[in-house]
Structure 1
Amino acid sequence: MRWDTIPEMVLSAADRFGDAEAIVDGPVRLGFAELAARVRSAAGAFAAAGVGRGDRVALCAPNSVEWIVAAFGLLTAGGVLVPVGTRLRAEEIADVVVRSRTKMMLVRQGFLGRRYGAPSGVPVIDLTEGFLDGGAPFERTVRGTDVADIVFTSGTTGRPKGVMMNHTQTLRKYSGWGDLAGLREGDRYLVVSPFSHTFGYKAGCIAALLKGATIIPVPVFDTGRVLEMVERERVTMLPGPPTVYHALLSAPGDRFTRGGHDVSSLRTAATGAADIPVELIRRIASELPFASVMTAYGLTEAGTVTCSRPGDSFEDIATTVGTPCEGMQVRIADDGEVLVRGYSVMQGYLDDPEATAQAIDADGWLHTGDLGSMDERGRLRIVGRKKDMFIVGGFNAYPAEIEGFLMEHPAVVQAAVIGVPDERLGEVGKAFVVRQGPVSVEELIAWSRTRMAGYKVPRHVEFLEELPLNATGKVMKDRLRGDWPPASTE
């Protein structure tokens, strides 16, 4: 790796790739040299606004060229980036802003029909009003060991925590990710994952700038719009959660045409989830033009930990998350929890030494909260979250495994399972299912009994029009346990 800091890497892209397209955002097309110039100007704007080394700035905006310029301009001014999801509620945004003690907040007013605000005393600047263009070119010296960003965990269960990462570990991690994904100079990279999340920001923007790929940001996922962009921009890279590929496969067409659009340029898919049905991987590889499909396991606290490798079988790619990345160690604790150690483990949780000590033990092992197993070839399989496991009559039941079985039914497009109280067995499974064809509760339960052990079979099924997902495609199971109303029970 040639750079210690993210600003060094971003600004060097001007010399490395010149006028080749760095970003395509609707009518806006920026070359790498022009991007570097805009980043320096944005850094000057932050400095003029009083942002110094180590000051934190919140960025709450959709995937866009402005987000990219703002983020890297801030880092070039020596600031610390605090990405904020645009779909968070006002009180959730305020919580992140207050706890991270941000100096200012940048937003895109009107996105999703919302007006974004911050607690009293925190200036709110609209990215569309010219702030980024108003500064004189500027760079401030930072160190590779300085904290570069504070990314708050998704908070699907419990209060989000601020994860601190430095410049050097981020550059090393996502240079390696790009190598494993086959990302290369000249690729056209459609980034559908939110920039407020590690997958969109780091495996997306940073990896693309490391390798010289063109970033094509998608602010809101819409299948028809994405297919049109793939055709128009000749997209080669399309990573995303499994739901993205379900959407592409549901569009009518064949291997090279979907929804009336030419998708033959697609080369590389990359996804990740606790348990992806083998059938989905087979369909991605056989019904879409991707030459390679990569699955990976990662978390905000450590970035990407394991990845599949070229040549892996459909079953390996679908049922495991590959082997550890360079510089990372993985082991399974006695209770089945996945432990991770290596250079990319976080600096700690923001202002929470107690939670940091609970997460990272004295030997440097990060306790992920995920349950898994390792096979004889060193491949990791994730079976679910430690806190999601439920016990049926003395047997451990893992929702991710049961969800994988349910997804094999031809009428099931999505499934989420939780444990609910049962007078006789203590707990039993309850499945929330999104259908793509006719099936009744009784039929699905009877079918399940032919596919899995009796204690794993859900005793209750509710059919929904959609599952409650956060911005990164994870099911918010706390909503299923609480205020998420079912569309129907039959």
Structure 2
Amino acid sequence: ALPLYHIFSLTANCLTFMSLGGHNLLITNPRDMKGFVKELGKYRFTAMTGVNTLFNGLLNTPGFESLDFSRLKLTLGGGMAVQKAVAERWHKVTGKPLLEAYGLTETSPAVCINPLNLERYNGTVGLPVPSTEVKFIDDTGRELALGEVGELCVRGPQVMKGYWQRPEETAKVLDGDGWLRTGDMAMMDEKGFVRLVDRKKDMILVSGFNVYPNEIEDVLAMHPGVLEVAAIGVPDENSGEVVKVFIVRKDPNLTEEDIMRYSRENLTGYKRPKHIEFRDELPKSNVGKILRKELRKEELAKRS
């Protein structure tokens, strides 16, 4: 259900699955969830790749829970953070874990992947793939210790040589020792598993405190009345920025007060949304990734 020109689908489905002799089923219009589920009903599929919004959409489409999952061996999420609420429900419905991996076009694309025999979602993107080094740095370039959050840097044979005919852009992300700055904030635990925090450019600065949209979204997605959610920072005279969330309702009766109450129960004060906007849908890329940058553009346009 991902276009084959996307690096995730190109590598996982088109190359890896084909090399293993797999029969690839391409869903040309995954936004037609009813048609998607109908098509899945014709096959006893063994593996599926996608993004969080795709899995969430399937779980909320009538008939999906009645499909035959008896041969499903692998569900792999990438492209955006897999939310705990989605992963847990996926496991409950299919009986199989939703595993996460991580990579970029600039790394061809693999950086990390979870062990395929993992029994449950663990909130990490897994272990670095063979021959791959990772480190985490602060804004000064200082390497951080285990458990500290910093920008994830990658070095290995899969890292690009540079952007085609764009030496200045290449120099911004690739140093002389072959380390690629990914722009993703992350940390490594004591077992070597990498946990993504968020995109560095998406970080919200509230009164000097770092707030990561993924954390806000992960918490609010656990509310039973929420279908989809996106969080961004918007300007504020007192604290510099505050959190604003955009929500697509699952429950049509969901109110701002419901979200505020849930936030008070589950989020620290400075992480709680100060603005809530309900929408029928959220802007997404061609692979289904929610586009926070489009929401930020809209907010800036309102204030200009």
TM-score relative to the length of structure 1: 0.56
Residue 411 of structure 1: which of 225, 229, 236 is its match? 225
Matched, 1:306 2:112: yes
**Deviation, structure 1 residue 483:** 4.1
Matched, 1:444 2:253: no
TM superposition outliers: structure 1 runs of 4+ over 4 Å = none
The match for 2:134 is: 330
Q: How does 1:335-346 map to 2 (within 5 A)?
A: 335=139, 336-346=150-160
The match for 2:145 is: none
> Superposition RMSD on alpha carbons, in Å?
1.9
Residue 279 of structure 1: which of 85, 96, 100 is its match? 85
**Residues 66-125 of structure 1, C-alpha deviation per residue, up to 9 Å, x if partnerless?**
xxxxxxxxxxxxxxxxxxxxxxxxxxxxxxxxxxxxxxxxxxxxxxxxxxxxxxxxxxxx
C-alpha distance in 2, partners of 1:378/1:341?
16
Residue 226 of structure 1: which of 29, 33, 36 is its match? 36
The match for 1:433 is: 247
The match for 2:277 is: 462
Residue 370 of structure 1: which of 168, 184, 204 is its match? 184
Residues 331 and 214 from structure 1, CA distance in 2 versus in 1: closer, same or farther, beyond 3 angstroms?
same
| Kept after mapping to 1: 8 A contact 2:53/2:289 | no
Residues 413 and 394 from structure 1, CA distance in 2 versus in 1: closer, same or farther, beyond 3 angstroms?
same
| Kept after mapping to 2: 8 A contact 1:390/1:397 | yes
Q: How does 1:134-213 map to 2 (within 5 A)?
A: 192-213=1-22
**Deviation, structure 1 residue 352:** 0.1
Identity score, percent: 38
The match for 1:5 is: none
Structure 2 residues without counterparts, runs of 5 or longer: 140-149, 300-304
Aligned length: 286
Output the amino acid matched with 1:323: L
**Residues 108-155 of structure 1, C-alpha deviation per residue, up to 9 Å, x if partnerless?**
xxxxxxxxxxxxxxxxxxxxxxxxxxxxxxxxxxxxxxxxxxxxxxxx
| Kept after mapping to 1: 8 A contact 2:9/2:49 | no
| Kept after mapping to 2: 8 A contact 1:391/1:428 | yes
Paired residue secondary structure (2:266): coil
Greater shift in the superposed pair: 326-335 or 296-305? 326-335
C-alpha distance in 2, partners of 1:376/1:205?
34
Structure 1 residues without counterparts, runs of 5 or longer: 1-191, 485-490
The match for 1:70 is: none
**Deviation, structure 1 residue 300:** 1.1
**Residues 427-467 of structure 1, C-alpha deviation per residue, up to 9 Å, x if partnerless?**
10110111101321122022102111111111001011111
C-alpha distance in 2, partners of 1:273/1:413?
19
C-alpha distance in 2, partners of 1:234/1:382?
32
Q: How does 1:247-326 map to 2 (within 5 A)?
A: 247-253=57-63, 255=65, 257-258=66-67, 262-272=68-78, 274-290=80-96, 292-302=97-107, 303-312=109-118, 314-316=120-122, 319-326=123-130
Paired residue secondary structure (2:3): coil
**Residues 284-335 of structure 1, C-alpha deviation per residue, up to 9 Å, x if partnerless?**
1221154x5321011111102111113435351xx21111111211111124
Residues 195 and 386 from structure 1, CA distance in 2 versus in 1: closer, same or farther, beyond 3 angstroms?
same
Residue 238 of structure 1: which of 30, 48, 62 is its match? 48
C-alpha distance in 1, partners of 2:199/2:64?
36
For the pair shown, the structure with the greater C-alpha radius of gyration is 1
The match for 2:142 is: none
| Kept after mapping to 2: 8 A contact 1:294/1:308 | yes
Output the amino acid matched with 1:379: F
Output the amino acid matched with 1:376: E
The match for 1:395 is: 209
C-alpha distance in 2, partners of 1:217/1:253?
20
| Kept after mapping to 1: 8 A contact 2:82/2:100 | no
| Kept after mapping to 1: 8 A contact 2:153/2:182 | yes
